Amino acid sequence: MAGEFDLIGRIRARAGTRPDVALGIGDDAALLRVPVDHELAVSTDTLIAGVHFPDDTAPADIGWKALAVNLSDLAAMAALPAWALLSLTLPSDDSDWLDGFLDGFDELTRLHDVALVGGDTTRGPLAITITAHGFAPNGVALRRSGARIGDDIWVTGTLGDAAGALAQWQGGGPRSAKLRFRLDRPTPRIAAGLALRGLATAAIDLSDGLAGDLGHVIVASMVGAQIDLGRLPTSRILADHFADEPRRWNLQLSGGDDYELCFTAPAANALAIERALAASDTAATVIGCITAGDGIAWATPEGEAFVPRASGYDHFAGGRA
C-alpha cells in the first residue's frame, strides 16, 4: 500500500522535463511557455477499463495506449507534442501496477519528447484521462473542414488490425498476437502529421473507424466522398485471419482503434506527399476522392455499392453493433 503522495512521488520521479516547462509537477498548477507565433493544440481523451481496452491488458500497454490516443489527436492537427496532464483513477494504491503503467507511458513520452507536467490521482474504478498539448505555427494546423471537391483521400498504415484483434478476443477463437499488438500499442502518426503541413487540406485520426471518422470530415467540409474498397491498405496478417471480404471491410470501416491518419489533398500534391511521408517512414495510400454532394459511396472491386455495418462508436448509443 503506497498512499496518494507516494504514488504522485513515483509519477513525479519519471515525469521528464523540457526547457519550455517553467514549473512542472508539485505546485497548484504548471507554468508553461508556448513559443511565439504558435497556436497551442490541446486535446483530452479518457480510457475506461473494459470499454477502451480489454480487462486483461498489461499495465504498460495501458500506459502506452492512453498517451498514444491523445498524441494521435495532435498528429491529426499537424501539431508537435510538448506536454501532458495525467488524471488517474485507480481502484487501489497499487504501486506495482503504477510502475508498469509508467513503463509504457514513459516509452512514448521519450519517443516524442513529451514532459508530464501535472495531473490528479483519485480512487475509483480504473480510468485514465490524459490531456495532451502541442504546437503548430499560427494558421498551419490541419482541420476537418478543409477538404475540397476533387481532393484525393489518403490513409496512413493499414486498417482493421486492432478491430480484428478485438473481434478475436470477443469471439473466443484463435487469437493473433500480432493483431493484438496493434490493438494495445497504436502508433501515433506524429511525423506524418508534421510532414503534411502545407500539403494536406484536411485531416482526422481514425479512432472510431474510417466510416465514422471520414464522415466527420465530409460533414465539416460540406462535401461527399467515394472510396474504393479494393484500395484499402490491408495487412497480410489481417487478410490471413479474416479471408471473408465483407467481414474484413466491416472491421476496416467500422471497427475503430486504428489511430492512423485519414487526410485529403489535391492530386497535384500527391508526389510531394509521397516524398514527405517516405522521409518520415510512413506508408500511405490513396483510397478514393472527395466528391460534390454528401455521404460516402463505398465501391467493391467489382464496382458494386457496399453498405458498412453501423459506423463509428457512440458511447450513448448502446455500443458496437
Would you tell me which residues interact with Mg ion (CB under 5 A)? 120
User: Is there a contact between 18 and 117 (Cβ–Cβ < 8 Å)?
Assistant: no
Give the count of alpha carbons within 13 A of 248, CB side only.
Answer: 20
Query: Which residues in the 18-77 window bind ligand ADP by CB under 6 A?
Result: 25-28
Q: How far is the CB of 68 from ligand ADP (least distance, A)?
A: 17
Kindly give the pairing relationship between strand 31-32 and strand 21-23: antiparallel
CA gap 255, 166 in Å, rounded: 9
> In this complex, which beta carbon is closest to Mg ion, that of residue 30 or of residue 194?
30
Window of 115-123, 143-151, 165-173, 285-293 that interacts with ligand ADP by CB under 6 A: 115-123
Which residues, in sequence order, are bridge partners of residue 154?
A: 263, 286
Q: Is 11 in the site for ligand ADP (CB under 6 A)?
A: yes
Element (H, E) at 161: helix 161-171
Q: How far is the CB of 169 from ligand ADP (least distance, A)?
A: 28
Window of 65-73, 74-82, 118-126, 245-253 that interacts with ligand ADP by CB under 6 A: 118-126
Q: Is 102 in the site for ligand ADP (CB under 6 A)?
A: no
Q: How far is the CB of 4 from Mg ion (least distance, A)?
A: 9
- Between the CA of residue 146 and those of 96, 262, 263, 264, 319, what are the distances in Å? 46, 13, 10, 8, 30
Residue of 67, 102, 116, 200 interacting with ligand ADP (CB under 6 A): 116
User: Is there a contact between 93 and 60 (Cβ–Cβ < 8 Å)?
Assistant: no
User: Is there a contact between 109 and 67 (Cβ–Cβ < 8 Å)?
Assistant: yes
Cell digits of residue 29? 498548477
Q: Is 127 in the site for ligand ADP (CB under 6 A)?
A: no
Q: Is 118 in the site for ligand ADP (CB under 6 A)?
A: yes
Q: How far is the CB of 120 from Mg ion (least distance, A)?
A: 5
Q: What are the residues binding ligand ADP (CB under 6 A)?
A: 8, 11, 25-28, 86, 88, 116, 118-121
